[in-house]
Chains A and B, each alone.
Chain A
Amino acid sequence: MLSVSLRHSFGDFALDLAFEAPPGLTVLFGRSGSGKTSVINAVAGLLTPDAGRISVAGRTLLDTEARLNLPRHRRRIGYVFQDARLFPHLSVRQNLLYGQTFAPRHARRESLDRIVALLGLGPLLDRRPGALSGGERARVALGRALLSAPDILLADEPLASLDDQRRAEIMPHFERLRDEAGIPILYVSHSVPEVARLATTVVVLRAGRVIATGPAAEVLGDPATAPGLGIRAAGAVLSARITQHHDDGLTELAAGGGRLFLPRITAAPGSRLRVRIAAQDVILALHRPEGLSALNILPVTVTGVRAGDGPGALIALDAGGEALLARVTRRSADAMGLAPGTSCYAVMKSVAIAPDDIGGPEPT
């Protein structure tokens, strides 16, 4: 459990926020310049705020009122930097073991062998960081942080500098850590697919303040927070269960009180996973459409309508108990008479849902 409250002035920019992160993976989400990295640096002890209190797992790291400010090397944090920051003069093995030598013996939960197996680092151990690819560097940085036996794992956009393929390679590791590591993870990101797939809790930052916080599905599915996320990023996260793989390359899932057909997902039938559905990929119809190429049609009920300043409107929907979000024009919303309580159908193209938006299997 992480608890943070901070005030800090950077001249023309001020940070003034408080939040609590329950166990699991908490994403600090916001555009660049919203103060995300400053918050994570304050937790790590790389930035000393003007005022504030930070505690992790019952240990106070910073309390400006009590004049307590633990130096970074005594905070027991594992920090995965965006640029990896591996030591160039040490081998991968020495990099991995660097933090472990400073960790108290009783706190060491992970062994080198386990981390090497978990992250697939075996063939890299004797290489130098200069000879690694971006994805390999990110994995070594993650392993190094975990081996330092931290009370909390901090990650500052660890995937931002990677291409799509590498990102797809690293993301499952964070999913697994979220579900298995047993330590809280504070993860900075401005990528909606990352939030949708990884977050247990989302803290949305804007101009140094928290504008929304809560479970990922709630925050992302709430039309009120959508403008803060960026309208193109708006979308809901459904919890889905794989029911069947079809021969034509589609996977059938049960979600939102109906069936979804998505391009082949490599997970066994019965697995649970998250699917993010962007608001702009959802079409609404008052009657069940026929003769349509789109395969996914879910019966839904309108729970809220939020018209923006522009021509668009966000429609909050209830799909079999789960929140869904659709972005349509105000003109359509008016013409269809969409209002809370209206029953209609949400239509989604299978191919509109990007692989990035589909999470790995979660423990049941």
Chain B
Amino acid sequence: MAEPWFGPAEWQAIALSLKVAAYATLFSLPPAVLVAHALARWRFPGRQLLNGLVHLPLVLPPVVTGYLLLLAFGRRGPVGGFLEDCCNLVFAFRWTGAALAAAVMAFPLMVRAIRLSIEAVDQRLEEAAGTLGASRPWVFATVTLPLMAPGIVAGAILAFAKAMGEFGATITFVSNIPGQTQTVPSAIYALLQVPGQETAAGRLVLVAIVLAMGALLLSEWLGQRVAARVAGR
């Protein structure tokens, strides 16, 4: 009898990875749009500082980011303690923490893609909308946002793929608990620690490659479709 491709532990890791990446993407989208808009359009003191802060996870060793998250969002950390008291929200050693770590790591990629798309929006169209009676929030909702949709879609998919692959910060912040915080990369790492598990690890490696490649292709395809729609062709 043929051995099944994946055992329950592998399926669990794949499902958890998808869940963590989906939550990470969904919840970081609104702040990413806000931050990208602020960086692209507003002039305020501390703009460069904000820009640096957003990009920090891109250049910092992931283990440092994970450790800082642990300090801040651990159950005794200032933010973590507060959130547990007020909202019963716990990040440490839970899948929510994995999602937070993934979101933080993917945030710079998302902001970059969205910011580029905002900068490509023709501000003369926003002026035109203003002269037609639309207030600033309406202009944003009816002109700016639809025109930057391709960037938002591309940024979200890129962030999703990045979140799927996040390892360093996640394992530092929430460890490697099967069924709780063990995502595909953590599972591969765990399998590689045990002699004789190379085949199982190889299968997960294949899954990681397929998911990453799929996300890239989807992002490209969706981006083109949305761009064509927005350009009015």
Binding site for B on A (CB under 8 A): 44-46, 71-79, 81, 83, 85, 87-90, 98-99, 102-103, 128-131, 144-145, 148
Contacts and interface: CB of A to CB of B under 8 A. Distances in A.
A74 B146 CA distance: 23
A98 to B, nearest CB: 6
Interface in B134-149: 134-136, 138-139, 142-143, 146-147
B229 interface: yes
B124 A83 contact: yes
Contacts of B147: 88-89
A88 B230 contact: yes
B233 A79 contact: no
Q: Chain A CB within 10 Å — which of B130, B230, B231 has the most?
A: B130
Given A73-B130, A87-B125, A87-B143, 5 more contacts: A73-B131, A76-B133, A85-B127, A89-B230, A103-B133
B129 A87 contact: yes
A38 to B, nearest CB: 14
Contacts of B142: 98
Nearest to B135: A73
B230 A79 contact: no
Contacts of A73: 130-136, 138-139
Given A73-B135, A88-B231, A130-B232, A46 B129 contact: no
Q: Chain A CB within 10 Å — which of B124, B128, B136, B230 has the most?
A: B128
B133 A148 contact: yes
Nearest to B143: A87
Interface string B107-132: 00000000000000000110111111
Contacts of B232: 88-90, 128-131
B47 to A, nearest CB: 23
Contacts of B124: 81, 83, 85
Interface string B132-170: 111110110011001100000000000000000000000
Interface string B168-201: 0000000000000000000000000000000000
Contact of A89 (B130, B133, B139, B229): B229
A133 to B, nearest CB: 14
Given A89-B229, A89-B230, A130-B233, A99 B130 contact: no
Contacts of B229: 89
Contacts of B128: 79, 81, 85, 87
A85 B124 CA distance: 7
Contacts of A90: 232
A76 B127 CA distance: 14
Given A83-B124, A87-B125, A89-B147, A144 B233 contact: no
A252 B232 CA distance: 48
A99 B133 contact: yes
Contact of B129 (A71, A83, A98): A98
Across the A-B interface, give the 3 residue pairs with the lowest CB-CB distance, nearest first: A102-B133, A130-B232, A128-B232
Contacts of A103: 133
B35 to A, nearest CB: 23
A85 to B, nearest CB: 4
Contacts of B132: 73, 78-79, 98-99, 102, 144-145, 148
Contacts of A74: 133
Nearest to A99: B132
Q: Chain B CB within 10 Å — which of A81, A89, A103 has the most?
A: A89
Contacts of A85: 124-125, 127-128
Contact of B146 (A89, A131, A148): A89
A131 B147 CA distance: 17
Contacts of A79: 128, 131-132
A128 B142 CA distance: 16
B125 A102 contact: no
Nearest to A91: B232
23 contacts: A45-B131, A46-B130, A46-B131, A72-B131, A73-B135, A73-B138, A77-B131, A78-B131, A79-B132, A81-B128, A85-B127, A88-B230, A88-B232, A89-B147, A89-B229, A89-B231, A98-B132, A99-B132, A99-B133, A102-B132, A102-B134, A128-B232, A145-B132
A74 B133 CA distance: 6
Contacts of A148: 132-133
Contacts of A77: 131
A241 to B, nearest CB: 39
Interface in B19-62: none
Given A81-B124, A88-B147, A45 B231 contact: no
A71 B137 CA distance: 13
A37 to B, nearest CB: 12
Interface string B212-233: 0000000000000000011111
